[in-house]
Structure 1
Amino acid sequence: MAQLGGGNQPILIFPEGTDRLLGRDAQRVNITAGKLLAETVRTTLGPKGMDKMLVDSLGDIVVTNDGVTILKEMDIEHPAAKMLVEVAKTQEDEVGDGTTTAVIIAGELLKKAEGLLDQDIHPTVVANGYRQAAEKAQELLNLISFDADDRDTLMKVAMTAMTGKGSEAAREPLAELVVDAVRQVEEDGEVDTDNINIQRISGESVNESMIVNGVVVDKSRTDPGMPKQIEDAKIALVKYPIEVKDLETDAKISLTDPAQMQAFIENEEQMIKDMVDKIIASGANVLFCQKGIDDLAQHYLTRNGIYAIRRVKKSDMNRIEKATGAKVVTNLDDLKPEDLGEAGLVYEKKIFDEVLTFIEDCRDPKAVSLILRGSTKHVAEEIERAVEDAIGVVASTVEDKKVVAGGGAPEIAISKGLKEYADTISGREQLAVAAFAEALEIVPKTLAENAGLDSIDALVDLRAAHEKSFYIGLDVFAGDVVDMYQAGVVEPQRVKKQAIQSAAEATEMILRIDDVIATKGTGAAPDMEGMGGMPGGMPPMM
């Protein structure tokens, strides 16, 4: 609630129960929220990062060190913290990896900004300085990147993304699968990762994972009497239901004698038989239907030796289309032999407790499937998350053909360049650029801390080594600074580019907020009572 006016008569302009934070109080609370969120995921960074166990209200458990998964699973309430969650989600959508990096850079930028605000530097000046620094950082990133998209580099990129995650024990064979999958679906230098289907199955070790040169659909035949295996498959993809449609309007049919009833039933049966006849006439021996298939239609399909699956997901239909060359038809009258896709083999197979349909031996499939195994459900889920990250970074490398060294090397190199750039700027923005440079050092510092190393010694050694080469990063296993490119630790340029850009923009937006007005009772407002005068005060986040 806020009020205006003098004397004894206040004028209310907000509803009763509205919380409001103004000026420095609003900035302090928002900054603290961002810092706390970054601290939450910070311990998961790097090859020696630890995992988080998240338990929801239903008791379901997620064990992961994937930054965006942690943030999605947490029930975050504070609006400023939600803005940093969006940073992680954007990073995940754009690149697939580097979500933790993006959030901890944003948290450190907010922390450094707090120090500048305490020196009475205006938030707009800090925001402008950060924007200049982010633009310069992109220039510096281009200078320290190198061109590469050969198989060896793609393998290194994939293994770097999976190091420190649940899949690390089998990262080399998994990297082989990922690189093969991405290269298979590449079209004209672009990779649509939706064309890589991942089937996660518990049981067996991760080493039993495999790639299918085609598509795997997590459905079985609609009728056990249908053939279990079809060679030289001619595949029809149908959106139209193979059943008699219900009337869209209420209607009554009056039948005056049993013969009419019999004729009505026979007519329905004939309609279904005609649909199946059209499928048979096209030459199809495999049918994937996005809608339902009537029991009678299943009978006719079975009698004609056709392998059929109903209620196939739209995403699976798209992948089958890409893999086999089939065309999805919405009307059975339009189904022609040239609309059919081709595959050497279509068969049903049970793996552990999952019954799957395999479409293999496609001529030049632009969609593939990965079957990932894990000893338990939670292990398999974490392996899937690691493989998804690897697919994202390999796809980014194939598209951009630019990579950087890992192990904190890019952050130190950009930080060094920004400090030199800051000396060329006049005005208070210079302090913001210098603060941005220092904030980037949080990445190698966190890598060192998570590995149990002395972070100050690590930063000093890295700064000294970067006088000679910007490939030098922190080897957390050896506890020393080494040439990361020679060590095979490389990352796509896009991971760093997106992380720095989105962290800077989110921080700038948060710094510009000087008034937080939250209406209670909507479920969206954090509890801010008493926060105004509490130094370091923080609304509950979870």
Structure 2
Amino acid sequence: MPKLLIHNSHARRALARGVHQLAAAVEPTLGPRGMNAMIDRPIGTPIVTRDGVSIAASIELHDRFENMGAQVVREVSMQTNEVAGDGTTTAIVLANALVQNGVEANERGAKSVDLVRGIDLAVAKVVQALKASAKPARSNGNLAAVANIAATDPRLGSLVAEAYERVGADGVITTDFSVTRDTTLDVVEGMSFDRGYLSHHMVTDQDKMEVVLERPLILMTDLKIKEPK
């Protein structure tokens, strides 16, 4: 299949247009007073959400080059969601501002290498300022306020804050689908590892697919065990 090629300012402008179109769909959802977005689906009812990464994932542009720009910003939101779990809309808005201003500066004669260096220096200054002004969210009220914005549901936000308060900063909080319509909080004592057992033969409870061991001996090491005996 023949490839379409564009270069220089035409390529930059096309990518910037794609970034702007995606950001324009996400930006109104930003902040505690953000608006909802409605996403159509081939089957079922539309999705109503304020989640930036969900909106970005549903956008496909007709123009190939503009869509490439949109895909880059979509990847930004996905990485933000993977690392922080929130702030995807903010990441898209910031990325759009960087792209639009960068293209404009480039059109005025600024060198791309100098722009990247300037952005890196600015990022270091911003991160330093954020760390200096950051305040630990120690109280349940502060935690609930942050959770309310992320969950867009005061009741769910309060539940998240309660979970954090009960397990502490070093605890593990996980979510799972409920078989009922109720949202509940269960606190399990012990430790949790982000992986399953090595073999299904280790299962002791076939009905629940759980490994239950009474008073086991546990070895923890950072060495590679080659020949266990």
TM-score surpassing 0.5? yes
**CA displacement at 1:47 relative to structure 2:** 1.5
The alignment status of 1:288 with 2:181, answered yes or no, reads no
1:164-221 C-alpha deviation (Å, 9 max, x unpaired): 85413x25632443324652xx5xx4x544xx23334564xxxx63212339xxxxxx
User: In the alignment, residue 176 of structure 2 is paired with which amino acid?
Assistant: I
Aligned to 2:175: 197
Is the 1:155–1:175 contact (alpha carbons within 8 Å) kept by the matching residues of 2? no
Mapping 1:356-395, distance limit 5 Å: none
Partners of 2:134 and 2:104 lie apart in 1 by 32
- The aligned counterpart of 2:59 is 74
- Give the Å deviation of 1:149: 5.0
User: What runs of 5+ residues in structure 1 fail to find an aligned partner?
Assistant: 1-15, 216-237, 243-286, 290-307, 328-336, 340-542
Preserved contact between residue 76 and residue 92 of structure 2 (Cα < 8 Å): yes
2:121 matches 1:132: yes
Aligned: 1:87 with 2:48: no
Q: CA deviation at 1:100?
A: 0.3
1-structure distance, mates of 2:46, 2:166: 30
Counterpart of 1:106? 95
CA–CA distance in structure 2, aligned partners of residues 122 and 75 of structure 1: 31
2 CA distance for matches of 1:202 and 1:44? 30
Q: Give the TM-score of the pair, scaled to structure 2.
A: 0.74
- Give per-residue Cα distances to partners, 1:303-344, cap 9 Å, x unaligned: xxxxx33xx4xxxx5xxx6xxxx35xxxxxxxxx545xxxxx
1:68 Cα deviation after fit: 1.3
Give the Cα–Cα distance (whole angstroms) in 2 for the partners of residues 180 and 211 of structure 1.
Answer: 12
Counterpart pick for 2:30 among 27, 32, 45: 45
The residue that corresponds to 1:160 in the other structure is 146
- Which residue number corresponds to residue 158 of structure 2? 173
Number of aligned positions between the proteins: 204
Work out the CA distance in 2 between the residues paired with 1:83 and 1:37: 10
1:452-467 equivalence runs, <5 A? none
Residue number in structure 2 paired with 1:22: 7
Over 3 Å counting, the alpha-carbon distance change for 1:161 and 1:119 in structure 2 is: farther
Unmatched 5+ stretches in structure 2: 190-198, 217-229
Residues 177, 134 of structure 1: alpha-carbon distance in 2 compared, 3 angstrom cutoff: same
- The question of 1:117 aligning with 2:103 is answered no
DSSP 3-state at the match of 1:212:
coil
Tell me if structure 2 keeps the 8 A contact 1:43–1:50.
yes
Residues 181 and 198 (structure 1), Cα distance of their counterparts in 2 relative to 1, 3 Å cut: farther
Change (3 A) 1:155 1:199: farther
Any idea what the Cα deviations from partners look like across 1:123-145, whole Å, max 9, x if unmatched? 22222211111122122222222
**Equivalent residue of 2:110, what SS?**
coil
CA contact (8 A) 1:28 1:114 kept: yes
Q: Following TM superposition, by how much is the alpha carbon of 1:241 offset from its aligned partner in structure 2, in angstroms?
A: 9.4
2:10 maps to a residue whose letter is D
Taking a change above 3 Å as real, the CA distance of residues 119 and 36 of structure 1, as seen in their structure-2 partners, is same
Per-residue CA shift, 1:61-85, capped at 9, x if unaligned? 3221011122223346722221211
Q: Quick one: distance in 2 between partners of 1:74 and 1:177?
A: 35
Change (3 A) 1:43 1:178: farther
Determine the C-alpha separation between the residues in 1 that align with 2:129 and 2:152. Answer: 33
3-state SS in 1 of match to 2:201: coil
Matches within 5 A, 1:402-417: none
1:47–1:165 Cα contact (<8 Å) kept: no
Report the RMSD for the aligned CA atoms in angstroms.
3.0
Q: 1:55 aligns with which of 33, 37, 40?
A: 40
Q: Which residue, 201, 206, 209 being the options, matches 1:240?
A: 201
Within a 5 Å distance, the mapping from 1:207-246 to structure 2 comes to 209-214=183-188, 239-240=200-201
Give the secondary-structure state (helix, strand or coil) at the position aligned to 1:210.
Answer: coil
Which structure would you say has the larger Rg? 1
Whether 1:142 aligns to 2:131 is yes
Instruction: Name the structure where strand makes up a greater proportion of residues.
Output: 1
- Cα 1:209–1:57 change in 2 (3 A) is closer
Looking at both structures, which has the greater relative contact order when contacts are Cα pairs under 8 Å and sequence separation is at least 6?
1
CA distance in 2, matches of 1:141, 1:172: 24
Superposed, 1:449-528 pairs within 5 Å as: none
Counterpart amino acid of residue 163 in structure 1: I
Letter in 1 for 2:23: A
Cα distance, 1:212–1:142 mapped onto 2, change above 3 Å: closer
Contact (CA 8 Å) 1:50, 1:65: kept in 2 or not? yes
Distance 1:181 1:38, change over 3 A: farther
Question: How many angstroms apart in 2 are the aligned matches of 1:35 and 1:142?
Answer: 29
Q: How far apart, CA to CA, are the structure 1 residues paired with 2:57 and 2:101?
A: 26
Normalised by the size of structure 1, how large is the TM-score? 0.34
CA distance in 2, matches of 1:80, 1:70: 15
What CA distance in whole angstroms lies between the structure 1 residues aligned with 2:157 and 2:128? 33
